[in-house]
Amino acid sequence: MSVFYASDTDNVEADVRQALAEDIGSGDATAELLPDVPDTAYLLCKEVAVVCGRPWFDACHRSLDPDVAIAWHVAEGDRVRAGTLLATLSGRARALVTAERTSLNFMQTLSATATVTAAHVEAVAGTGARILDTRKTIPGLRAAQKYAVRVGGGSNHRMGLYDAVMLKENHIRAAGSIGGAVRNARERYPALPVIVEVETIEQLREALATGCDRILIDDFDTGMRREAVAIAAGRIPLEVSGGVDLSGLRAIAEDGVDCISIGALTKHVRAIDLSLKLGRKPG
């Protein structure tokens, strides 16, 4: 099943318009010095990575040269080795160099998110636990990064504050109880999923009684987490978040939780090392 949604097309176009306007401004002064002649270029990945961001890369180049030819040698989501030739391009020299930095910025960031996500997904393989992202994304690139999470094999949490109700300590306190907070949410937003964050086993039992859609067990130690899984007994999915790193991920998943949400998938990414060079790849 494709992870590129119909809505992503509009996001790609908007992202690229903004990014190119930011970079080019009134014009690429350096590219204007080049002869505007046909030329070729190649895109190289310099480290192990999961490829992600092709739609954004393509849109950057086609925005400046609608006739550019882009031949991809790898698919979106492919895991590649260092030194892999990802794509070759044929187009106008000025457009190729002007689009270079912006197209690489998208590819290196989204490939980073997909690569990190894939590592986390691999760590829980066979446990039944799903890896979720969070709202800790680069401003303006949330839809793009959440797409990259899907490319890496992860799943998306809520997109924003508008498509799910997440009841935390302050919301519950204001409503007087977990039951009251969930009732208010169901009455006001009957079509939205309701997620409840709990901090104790007693609160877990209260949340289970409401029939909410998911329960976030916050800062539970190993013993509490296992007790929570036993009490929930699969009635309502349990989510773990906070203080999760790759080294301890498998143990958490093996306790039987359904979801693990990880801000680092989008927040702590290190750009994948890519380069786009004019000419043909040597050798």
Annotated binding site for substrate: 101, 134-136, 158, 168, 197, 218, 241-243, 262-264
Is 281 an annotated catalytic residue? no
Is 22 an annotated catalytic residue? no
- The helix (H) or strand (E) run that includes residue 187 is helix 178-188
- Residue 84 sits at the vertex; the CA angle it makes with 97 and 156, to the nearest 5 degrees, is 85
Is 47 an annotated catalytic residue? no
Token reading at 26: 């009134």
Is 76 an annotated catalytic residue? no
Is 101 an annotated catalytic residue? yes
Contact, 23 vs 105, CB < 8 A? no
- Residue 226 sits at the vertex; the CA angle it makes with 158 and 152, to the nearest 5 degrees, is 40
Give Cβ neighbours of residue 83 (< 8 Å, ≥ 6 apart). Answer: 44, 45, 46
Contact, 225 vs 96, CB < 8 A? no
What letter would DSSP give residue 31? G
- The candidate with the shortest Cα–Cα distance to 225, out of 186, 194, 252, 192, is 252
- The catalytic residue among 62, 79, 168, 226 is 168
- The catalytic residue among 47, 218, 227, 273 is 218
Token reading at 136: 């800790």
- The catalytic residue among 15, 39, 76, 197 is 197
- The candidate with the shortest Cα–Cα distance to 56, out of 5, 15, 97, is 15
- Which residues are known catalytic residues? 101, 136, 168, 197, 218
